[in-house]
Amino acid sequence: MNDASGKAGNGKAPDLNAILAGSGSSGGFFARSKVLWLIALAVLLALVAWYMFGSRGDAGLPKFNTQAAEIGGLVVTVSATGNLEPTNQVSVGSELSGTVAEVLVDDDDRVKKGQVLARLDLSKFEDNVTKSRAALAVTEASLVQAQATRMEAAAKLDRYREVSRLSGGKVPSRIEMEVAEADLKRADSTVASAHASIAEAKATLQTDLTNLGKGTIRSPIDGMVLSRDVDPGQTVAASLQAVTLFTLAEDLARMELSVDVDEADVGQVKAGLKATFSVDAWPGRRFKASITRVGFNATDSDGVISYPAVLQVSNDDLSLRPGMTATAEITTITRDGVLLVPNAALRFTPPAVTAASKSRGGILSSLMPRPPGGSPKQQVVQKEGSQQVWVVRDGNPVPIEVTTGVTNGRFTEITGGDLQSGTQVITETVSAAK
């Protein structure tokens, strides 16, 4: 007992390391594992934070579609729609009433000037001519009779004058002399009246001969029959106006295109400009034309004002036909070797929130308070008479001031400014800031 207590009372403390080494070998393993788990968790959290904030530092930047400004040619055109017509279209009719006896041509037949197209029943007109000739013969006979009467009256008066000379004025009496002179004057007037009757009869005969000739319908031009509007046996009534029997086109190898030009474009259109047009009958084919006249008479169609323009068309192969609807493109301006930008670039407006309003700093920036008043916006300062296009620099849209020229609706000519050929200009925003 005393030995045991004496050992314990020597004042030596127990060895702690020995105790931990002897009794805590399994506890040390778990402690080290806990530290490793904490380190792994911290790394995982850092990776998640970097993915959510650091790797998406550019997520606030808007994305843009761009297109290069290029040197090229620009053609400005004006569109107009109209119908094809022959250069000279003639309506052939009849001034006389009657029955159509025969028709000698049909649609699409080629005819020569003076060729007989149709005939009316001429019997009535021939009868009138016969009557007029008989009337003329009667007046001519009356003239002969009147001339004979005048000769008789003149001879009688000459005898009286001779007797009066020989008798010294005793015979014939004064009354007989006056009667003889009056008879001669009446004979003269009868002769004059006969001459007038003959002239009238001749005029009547000529009228009847003319009507007889008009009973035969002839072509006034060399051309083609576009339409035949009469058949044999049909009655023609021309009491008030001439009835159209045929429609002729003089030369279909040369045609006209009459189009309506909108009032907004008529200032650019003038005689001599070149044009092309298409028709539904020949898809994919373009026909050439040139403007010969721009009219001043306006047409109002439901509030839309337009002006007529006439284009000369060559139709040597006769592929074009009267009445076809054509859509013409009139070339008003041509530019070669000019700087061009798409019109979408001139219409582009940058988004209100720019990339500067978003942070690229990850967790720290997300935790920092932001100043009041919202995100900054692009300040656009544009001079009078100029426009702007936008380019991307450091992820942000930056304006470039330019001076514009003519446009064809898709591209616009750039006549001044700092824009260079090949520069990518913004045409639209693909994705805005989120």
pTM for this structure? 0.59
Res 52: pLDDT: 60
Res 366: pLDDT: 47
- One of 1.10.10.10, 3.40.50.11720, 2.40.420.20, 3.30.420.40 is the CATH number of 63-72+339-431, namely 2.40.420.20
SS3 assignment for 136-166: HHHHHHHHHHHHHHHHHHHHHHHHHHHHHHH
CA of 386: how far to CAs of 187, 340, 350, 417, 421, in Å? 100, 15, 17, 9, 19
Report how far residue 224's alpha carbon sits from residue 246's, in angstroms, rounded to the nearest whole number: 10
- Does the pLDDT value for residue 54 go beyond 70? no
Report how far residue 188's alpha carbon sits from residue 146's, in angstroms, rounded to the nearest whole number: 8
Instruction: Give which of 260, 262, 321, 332 is closest to 287, Cα–Cα.
Output: 321
Report how far residue 12's alpha carbon sits from residue 17's, in angstroms, rounded to the nearest whole number: 14
Q: Per mean pLDDT, which range of 4-18, 58-72, 218-232 is the poorest?
A: 4-18
Annotate 266-305 with b (16+ C-beta within 10 A) or e (fewer). Answer: bebbeeebebbbbbeeeeeeebebebeeeeeeeeeeeeee
Q: Per mean pLDDT, which range of 118-122, 162-166, 241-245, 369-373 is the poorest?
A: 369-373
CA of 201: how far to CAs of 32, 89, 131, 140, 213, in Å? 147, 38, 10, 9, 18
pLDDT category of residue 352 using cuts at 50, 70 and 90: low
- Does the pLDDT value for residue 20 go beyond 60? no
Res 61: pLDDT: 63
pLDDT category of residue 147 using cuts at 50, 70 and 90: very high
Residue with more model confidence, 15 or 119: 119
Specify whether the backbone of 201 is left (phi greater than 0), alpha (psi in -120 to 50) or beta.
Answer: alpha
Here the tokens at position 412 are: 């616009």
pLDDT category of residue 359 using cuts at 50, 70 and 90: very low
Report how far residue 342's alpha carbon sits from residue 344's, in angstroms, rounded to the nearest whole number: 5
Residues 54, 359 contacting (CB under 8 angstroms) = no
pLDDT digits (tens, 9 = 90+) for 361-374: 444 444 444 444 44
Res 19: pLDDT: 44
CA of 47: how far to CAs of 154, 326, 362, in Å? 149, 68, 11
Q: What is the mean pLDDT of residues 154-159?
A: 94
Q: What is the mean pLDDT of residues 424-429?
A: 91
Res 23: pLDDT: 46
Listed in order, strand segments (DSSP E) in 121-270 are 216-218, 223-228, 235-236, 243-249, 254-262
Residues 313, 86 contacting (CB under 8 angstroms) = no
Q: What is the mean pLDDT of residues 85-103?
A: 91
Q: What is the mean pLDDT of residues 146-172?
A: 93
Q: What is the mean pLDDT of residues 384-398?
A: 83
